[in-house]
Structure 1
Amino acid sequence: MYRKISVFMGLMLIGKCLLAQQQYELNSGWQCNIAGSVKVNGEKLSDPAYSITNWQPATVPGTVLTTLINNKAVPDPMFGMNNEKIPDIYHTGNDQYTYWFVKDFKELPASADGQVWLHFRGVNEGCDVFLNGHKLNNNTHFGAYLRQTYNITPWLAKNGNNRLAVIVYPPKYPGNPNGGQGGDGTIAKGVGPQYTAGWDWIQPMRDRNTGIWDKVFIEKTGAISLKDPHIITKVPGVRKPQDPQQPAIINTAVTLENSTSKPITGTLKFSVAETSVTSKVAIPAKGTASITLPQLTLQHPKLWWPAGYGDQHLYKATLSFTDQTGKQQDIDTIVVGVREIQTYWNAHTNSREIAVNGQKIFIKGGNWITSDALFRFTKDRYDAEVKFHRDMNLNLIRIWGGSLTERPEFFEACDKYGLLVFQDFWMSGDCNGRWTDPMKKEDQWTRRQYPDDHGLFLASVVDQVKMLRNHPSLAFWCGGNEITPPADIMAAMKDSILPKLDGTRYFFDYSNSDSMSYNHLGGNGDGPYGIQPISVFWGERTFPFNSEVGSVGVGDYESLARFLPEENLVAPDPATGKVDAVWNYHKYISYNNAISPYGEFKDLKQWANKAQLVNYDQYRALMEGFSAHMWDWYTGVIIWKTQNPWTALRGQMYDYYLDPNACLYGTRKGAEPLHIMYNPIDGMVSGVNNTFSYARDMMLELRTFDHLGHDSVLTKVFVEIGPTSVQKFMSVAATINKLKEKDGIFFSLRLVKADGIVADNFYWLPNGDGKYTGLSKLSTAKLQCTASRADAGGIKVTLSNPANGPVAFFNRISLVNAKHERILPVFYNDNYVSVLPGETKTILVSGELTKMSPDAQIEVYGENVESQYIVIQ
């Protein structure tokens, strides 16, 4: 019944009109009160005549803590040490966060055989539901992920004035937030998100995300309701995006529910791209019928491809049921991406290899927790975050198992931008017993059997698979993070539930299992985490499909100032690297060994700018090192991690407020589909082609620049790179080592075609002692900047560096308002860019906010470029 949430993206006007008649959200006008203050039962409270004067406004969807924050009853837990000022449920007891939520709404009783349905898409952890004096659920609902559906047709008020009352119970075992991964681990005794008790990148959420955290909506159907449609697309053979396409196959199944006391016959129809199939159907009285429609052959299909490999075409398909009288009883519009995902075992790398539509894909992924730690989800935020991942030239997002099954709106964005999704179920090695851990309350054997209710876990799996399985972006299911579920859960999922409900997707036992990547190194099979010497990424072989490997990710000064109090805006101690308690509270990872080669800094702003140099270099090197050994050592890599749902000082390409840092653009550069790169170990220059076509008729241009801007041309030679391959061109070790010995050197690598540059990479290399002394000697570059409105509604920024001067190095471009505050989120096709003497670069700024900010300006500053603000022409 919940599938209709997935249709809002890009529907035809008629589809929107139909949906507007069929369903609407209950997302405003809620009131709430702590349960201990309510002296009547649910039957009385849900009577529209009962007064709820002086109740406080509630945020639904939202958690109890979200409502308290919005009502200014508690401070913003994202800022400073405010989270410590909020009572924790473990210490207060569950009554502190047990709340009633009440919503009055208009809905007249259905006419004829019409039916009205109430849906909850997520309540954490338990609830009882009442409508107009009637309790709707026979037994208390439990399970943070398990959806609920109630046929409320008999209980609607004749005058259309209805009241819904819901009491929400927190997790039975909220866990002690003792600083361990998932606190003392007992949060995992329930079926819900484990990170809410705290992790090494987040502080605990004080209410453990108790609340009606996801959508509530009303749906109206006829006598027959379509439930749980299942769309499977088959794309036989090996395809190329640009080729004429042979037919594709679409198989469709759905369950029909008859809510009336009489049998109904009629026609079930599936339509897509002006092609349809039908089936005559009979549904028994008060019963259901599961129907598989005839196979549909789609001629000349437009295929869905992962980002970087082709377009993400999405069809608008419809399922409808019309009874024997010709009356349409229900219609469902579904977004369909025609694609087929295959997996193979690569015996050379000893790891899983992924193919889409018959073409092998080198996986470049990012690990994702959730969009917001307090479950404050919006479609626009999902769209922005997934677009950032697409802009990083990634093609997969892994949803980490200590969080949740991501929402349909997240998958819609991944469908749109071409991000494959690797979805863990709700286990973690930390809470579920993989390791001995003194922070955990119970021993490993006990934790190994979490959660307490295995049946609830399996019911939640069934439900979530049905909710998400039609998304083309959904590529893999996984038993859990770094551990399998208990044996009985595992057997049911792997041998029964997933084959029956979704037999086309590969199931990984756990996130770093041997079925994904043979662990020849021992240990846990993940990492390393934190700053590594650049040579490590290139020269030290790690797991052939690494599910978690990453570095740092602190933002610049503007980012830090959003959540650190003014008195804490102090750089780490240059001698010891120590920081104050607030930095540690926000999970800071030390940079100092990496920043010291860049020389002294006088304040936090300078320190943070130097940190961006480290950020860029770390993630470019990570992606280059894995790409350089594509199909030899590796079949893929997934960065730990690419985003934070909280204001943490680690592991993020953009901050909680959606402000990107240099990690994003270093990743973007290192992961670009056609890329030219330099191995710092042996001096080899190589090219990577992550497309399905030959890259031919390109000239390789290699140049160096010193800190004065003097250049040396090392080579200009024609090269080519085959599809999905790496090509070594030449070693320049002797020349580069000689040129960089004293003060370091800038190194420009380009692939150029007759019509322009097709790949451009720019390194700053240290001197023979590993220090960047040349950067401190850079004179000021007189960078000339202009900005104008682009035809597509964005902004075009032009950066011109005069000849006979130094490189204009590492320039940050930002869209700001009249107060010079950054406008967020917006998107840059490149950033932290360097402009060579005598050259010009154009940066495109896009996003809806570029169109909505008439007084906006462009800010530009660099390592040797003074900050300037440019009026947009």
Structure 2
Amino acid sequence: MRRVTTLLFFLFFIAHCATAQQEVELNSGWKCTRATDINKSGEEISTPVTDVAGWLPATIPGTVLTTLLNNKLFLDPFFGMNNKLIPDIYTTGAAYYTFWFVNDFNHAPAANGDEVMLQFRGINYSYDVFLNGHKVNDVRDTGMFLRSSYSITRYLNPTGKNRLAVIVYPPSPVGNPNGGQGGDGVIAHSVTNQYPAGWDWIQPIADRNTGIWDKVTIKRTKQVHIENTHVGTLVPGKRNVEGKQKPATIKVTTEAENTCDSEIRGTAIYELGGKKVKVSVTLQPHSVETIEFPDLELEDPRLWWPNGYGPQNLYPCKISFLINSKTLSDKEELNIGVRQIKTAWNNKTNSREIRVNGQKIFIKGGNWILSDALLRFDDERYDHEVHFHKDMNLNLIRVWGGGITERPAFYDACDKYGLLVMQDFWASGDCNGRWYDPLKLEDTNARRNYPDNHKLFIESVEDQVKMLRNHASLALWCGGNEIRPPADILSAMRDSILPTLDGTRYFFEFSNDDSMSLHGGDGPYVLQSKDYFWAHKSFPFNSEIGSIGIGDVESLKRFLPDSNLVVPYYDTSMRKWIVDSVWRYHRYEGYDSAIEVYGHPKTIEDFARRAQLVNYDQYRALMEGATARMWDWYTGIIIWKTQNPWTAMKGQMYDYYVDPNACLYGTRTGSKQLHVMYDHINKLVLVANNHFTPTEKMELIAKAYTAAGDEIPLTSKYVQVAASSCKQQYKFGKEIDSLAKQEGIFLYLSLTDSATNVPVDDNLYWLTDAKGNYPLLQKMPLAKLNASARQTDKGIEVTIANPLGNPVAFFQRLTLIHASGERVLPAFYSDNYVSVLPGQEKTYILQVNSTIKEALQLYVEGWNTRRQFIEIK
């Protein structure tokens, strides 16, 4: 009876699949083995005659190294010096990381004219595909950034039981990881990512990311399938965020392929904003036709705006093809943001200006490497990381050219949170020969012609543009990091591919292009005096400028062994800073004497806590110095960098484990859309207004506070600021220097809406004494806070009150923890590393993953407060 029931169910499954359009992902049940361990052909391996019971469980999507790690064959390369224990492909040879991957899956055979496609969204680097004893691809396919799709209709087994086998070969050459940027540079001979040979923020990845690194899907349609839909949106004129909008124009094309031997007549349809647009189509046998729909005028469109400027409205868009106007053959579903992105040359700054819906946007951006160095991608992690960029009040992410073309889920998150994206293609001046480098195997002239296969690079660009072009967040294309691609590649991109396949976004030939910024260049990348960001005129659209960025002691303990939690110190006899070897391995960027001005750290806890003060002050100054000169010196600035895909100890707003440090909150403060700030060089108070409309009347208040908490009024006045501008509001005389001379002073600035008495912004600076030190912070008495927390629909609402008579409660970190005592990660704080004045009360919102069901705990502790647990009601 059980056998009969099973057979009936299986027959029902086959009949159902024969009529339904569907797409399934093959993301489980994979097994693998090293190719040298099995002496059989692909035809044999892809049939049941080959027993794979003893093969390793494989992680797909994933790299070879990911699978080996998940099978506990190596230790976590992100911890300590473990990465050095993993055999590097340069030493072992390519065969060590050449693997067979097998998947046994159930899928009914094609019937009633169905077509079944096997699709790979990314394999690194070359591969052959076999199914049920048949070789699927005619010749070995190559290229990390080229999607592939194969018709497997004729290869599916009548029983519904199928075996897929894929052999994956590493890129060649793999490169010598000799400590150079991209090692010896030869990894760039291939159309692959360059960082796995090592960079100044990462150690080499042993397998060079060999593997089936992105999704594998099987798609079943009727005789016609559609792909590469392109939705363009035109929003003419200069638009406001509020009020009724004039119409926008929607332009749609899609590709339809007839896979059968006869002519097919049908209807192509797309639906958007409650409207349907149809086109009657006749497709010739075995042909691909681009279908161009009539333009749609969308009345009163809900526009998409960058973060900070307006909402990120998205429209569902469904494209389908009906055979004989009744039978669904295939469909595609997208989310579309209605907006138009243009650029203009700013003659005052001599740099490019970005405009969205006719409004100029002052670019506050961050450079992004990728989410995970081992390409372990996760839609949720993408969402979390982009969420952090939103919380920093940034409006652009640049995807760096030594990495990858990001996956669609990354762009989904950028669409959701309003982060414009500048996408580099796969070249970097380090590997591709912009500079002479003794660590490189070949000279600059040879390297400038990388990669070897120009045709593959061009095909990959075309394919990735088609994959990403519908995202509202995608704003700019860039030929490469700090170097133009070879002339023929550049010409194909600039003159053919991008105008034909997109035509709606500006193309920078490389990230330091004169069309971005005259007198172009980038950096610096190390700790600077705050004066630098206020007084030094950097490049007017700086694609890379950055600094330090380690986390606190909880962050350091996640990847540094206890024996290596050693404070750097200055050796007077050697006249240099001595840093632990594991810190150096994790690419520590020195804080040096910037820590000492807060008092000599005796413990690693002291060091990490002082580092957060430096972090906050450094990135606040970076963003405020740029904002103070927007449209005067600058049209945009992009931090190098906001995150690391490995446990590096430099240039990051949150660590690999998505734990924010004070860099994030210093950037958040300095990047606010409406912001009061202090130019300590010229003793000026300024207010920046990034909005499209002028401010209402606001009250500006400036106060000073001593270490003991004594308040010293400085000024109070009413101010207004024009749209998209920064204006000087007050100039101090000698009183600030006089107040700070002996031990330093706190300077507090605030803005309040004069009509509603609602606070708009505030900002607290800690100013040095005459010698550049902070005795102020060493003399502060303890502050005892009153704090409460309650669960609300918006998250956990935390209120902190500092009673009168207390000193400033300085640099308080809120921390949400599990019952185990471990931090809740990720957690999103409306602000952190906060200071509360005597007599002041502040409220913050904490948001965490809604799937957490356990009771959480919360504590607050700061520079001059003890750890205090707060009950969450």
- Choose which of 569, 572, 593 in structure 2 pairs with 1:573: 569
Counterpart for residue 143 of structure 1 = 143
Read off the aligned partner of 1:484 and give its amino acid letter: R
1:542 paired with 2:527, answer: no
Give the stretch that moved more between structures: 496-505 or 182-191.
496-505
1:293 paired with 2:293, answer: yes
Instruction: Report the count of equivalent residues.
Output: 851
Read off the aligned partner of 1:37 and give its amino acid letter: D
Q: Could you tell me how far 1:113 is from its partner in structure 2?
A: 1.1
Give the secondary-structure state (helix, strand or coil) at the position aligned to 2:52. coil
**1:569-648 to 2 correspondences below 5 Å:** 569-573=565-569, 576-648=576-648
Counterpart for residue 158 of structure 1 = 158
1:711 paired with 2:711, answer: yes
Q: Could you tell me how far 1:325 is from its partner in structure 2?
A: 5.2
Read off the aligned partner of 2:351 and give its amino acid letter: S
Give the stretch that moved more between structures: 132-141 or 320-329.
320-329
- What CA distance in whole angstroms lies between the structure 2 residues aligned with 1:313 and 1:390? 16
Counterpart for residue 200 of structure 1 = 200
Q: Could you tell me how far 1:48 is from its partner in structure 2?
A: 3.1
With over 3 angstroms needed to count, the CA separation of the structure-2 counterparts of 1:20 and 1:643, relative to structure 1, is farther
Read off the aligned partner of 2:143 and give its amino acid letter: G
**1:309-324 to 2 correspondences below 5 Å:** 309-324=309-324
Give CA-to-partner distance per residue, 1:539-569, whole Å, 9 cap, x none. 1101000000011001000000000001001
Give CA-to-partner distance per residue, 1:314-369, whole Å, 9 cap, x none. 00011111122521211111111000001001011000000000000000000000
- Choose which of 513, 523, 527 in structure 2 pairs with 1:527: 523
- What CA distance in whole angstroms lies between the structure 2 residues aligned with 1:514 and 1:242? 36
Give CA-to-partner distance per residue, 1:700-727, whole Å, 9 cap, x none. 0111101000011111111011111111
**1:253-402 to 2 correspondences below 5 Å:** 253-324=253-324, 326-402=326-402
- What CA distance in whole angstroms lies between the structure 1 residues aligned with 2:708 and 2:279? 76
Counterpart for residue 769 of structure 1 = 771
Give the secondary-structure state (helix, strand or coil) at the position aligned to 2:110. coil
Structure 1 unaligned blocks of 5 or more? 1-16
Read off the aligned partner of 1:546 and give its amino acid letter: N
Contact 1:235 1:249 in 2 (8 A): yes
- What CA distance in whole angstroms lies between the structure 1 residues aligned with 2:758 and 2:777? 29
Contact 1:743 1:774 in 2 (8 A): yes
**1:214-253 to 2 correspondences below 5 Å:** 214-253=214-253
Contact 1:530 1:550 in 2 (8 A): yes
- What CA distance in whole angstroms lies between the structure 1 residues aligned with 2:703 and 2:100? 68
TM-score (norm 1): 0.96
- What CA distance in whole angstroms lies between the structure 1 residues aligned with 2:18 and 2:274? 19
1:486 paired with 2:486, answer: yes
Give the secondary-structure state (helix, strand or coil) at the position aligned to 1:245. coil
Read off the aligned partner of 2:540 and give its amino acid letter: P
- What CA distance in whole angstroms lies between the structure 2 residues aligned with 1:288 and 1:121? 21
Give CA-to-partner distance per residue, 1:366-410, whole Å, 9 cap, x none. 000000000000000000000000000000000000000000000
Contact 2:186 2:431 in 1 (8 A): yes
Contact 2:525 2:547 in 1 (8 A): yes
Contact 2:423 2:478 in 1 (8 A): yes
Counterpart for residue 788 of structure 1 = 790
Give CA-to-partner distance per residue, 1:227-247, whole Å, 9 cap, x none. 110110000010011121000
TM-score (norm 2): 0.96
Contact 1:48 1:161 in 2 (8 A): no
- What CA distance in whole angstroms lies between the structure 2 residues aligned with 1:64 and 1:161? 26
Contact 1:123 1:214 in 2 (8 A): yes
Contact 1:684 1:733 in 2 (8 A): no
1:841 paired with 2:837, answer: no
Contact 1:543 1:634 in 2 (8 A): yes
Counterpart for residue 826 of structure 2 = 825
Counterpart for residue 806 of structure 1 = 807
Give CA-to-partner distance per residue, 1:284-323, whole Å, 9 cap, x none. 1111111111111100100000000000000001111112
- What CA distance in whole angstroms lies between the structure 1 residues aligned with 2:793 and 2:253? 44
Give the stretch that moved more between structures: 360-369 or 50-59.
50-59
Counterpart for residue 103 of structure 1 = 103
- What CA distance in whole angstroms lies between the structure 2 residues aligned with 1:746 and 1:19? 72
Give the stretch that moved more between structures: 248-257 or 755-764.
755-764
- What CA distance in whole angstroms lies between the structure 2 residues aligned with 1:113 and 1:722? 64
- What CA distance in whole angstroms lies between the structure 1 residues aligned with 2:345 and 2:848? 40
Identical residues among aligned pairs (%): 55
**1:850-869 to 2 correspondences below 5 Å:** 852-869=852-869
Q: Could you tell me how far 1:847 is from its partner in structure 2?
A: 2.5
Give the secondary-structure state (helix, strand or coil) at the position aligned to 1:431. coil
- What CA distance in whole angstroms lies between the structure 1 residues aligned with 2:148 and 2:543? 33
- What CA distance in whole angstroms lies between the structure 1 residues aligned with 2:812 and 2:21? 51
Give the secondary-structure state (helix, strand or coil) at the position aligned to 1:634. coil
With over 3 angstroms needed to count, the CA separation of the structure-2 counterparts of 1:644 and 1:420, relative to structure 1, is same
Give the stretch that moved more between structures: 325-334 or 676-685.
325-334
**1:96-135 to 2 correspondences below 5 Å:** 96-135=96-135
Contact 2:63 2:375 in 1 (8 A): yes
Read off the aligned partner of 1:870 and give its amino acid letter: I
- What CA distance in whole angstroms lies between the structure 1 residues aligned with 2:152 and 2:510? 40
With over 3 angstroms needed to count, the CA separation of the structure-2 counterparts of 1:126 and 1:704, relative to structure 1, is same
Give CA-to-partner distance per residue, 1:133-191, whole Å, 9 cap, x none. 11111110110111110111111111110111000000111100000000000000000
Read off the aligned partner of 1:783 and give its amino acid letter: L
Give the secondary-structure state (helix, strand or coil) at the position aligned to 2:846. strand
Counterpart for residue 57 of structure 1 = 57
Read off the aligned partner of 1:767 and give its amino acid letter: D
